Structure 1
């Protein structure tokens, strides 16, 4: 099992729109492609209050590549995502880190 930490830097004033996009659009497609989120967090105290953090769970790097490629080539997904940005970009940047659990991690 591996985990992917993704950090979205949200455009100022657009956090609620990003959260709505996940709830109303993204989760449907993640379910379709069996992409499994472990959790989501907004920053209360930290480097930037504009950050949305998420952790995704993958069986392997190959599993991630297969599922991520599938969703990113889904025309309906791309069209719905584009509609959410008709009034401007919601996310200015995304960083991701692939992590493997230590032997003593509760999340394996």
Structure 2
């Protein structure tokens, strides 16, 4: 398995907008496209950041799924609508790709 940690830096005053977009639309679109979110966090120190981890079979599947997502008609409309009145939401996205260490297993 391949895991991707995605860290979004959110523009000031737009945290509610990103949370609403994920809660009301993005997770559902991900599910429809077969994209798996392992977990999702909001920064605990007050930074305008969200963090989430996605799981893929491999990098080829990851690339394919994200290409589908970017071209998805519903996603394009949701993004446009969510940015219509308040402007851009996401300032920066950092992506980190990881494989689970063979010597680590949950429950140890």
TM-score (norm 1): 0.90
Q: Secondary structure of the residue that 1:32 maps to in structure 2?
A: helix
Query: Aligned-pair RMSD on alpha carbons?
Result: 1.3
* Number of residue pairs the alignment of both structures matches: 105
Residue matched to 2:18: 18
Alignment of 1:32-51 (within 5 A): 32-45=32-45, 49-51=47-49
* Structure 2 Cα separation of the partners of residues 3 and 20 of structure 1: 24
TM-score (norm 2): 0.90
Residue matched to 1:76: 74
Unaligned runs of 5+ in 1: none
Q: Secondary structure of the residue that 1:49 maps to in structure 2?
A: coil
Q: Secondary structure of the residue that 1:7 maps to in structure 2?
A: strand
Deviation of 1:106 (Å) = 2.9
Deviation of 1:10 (Å) = 0.7
Unaligned runs of 5+ in 2: none
Residue matched to 2:105: 106
* Structure 2 Cα separation of the partners of residues 62 and 4 of structure 1: 13
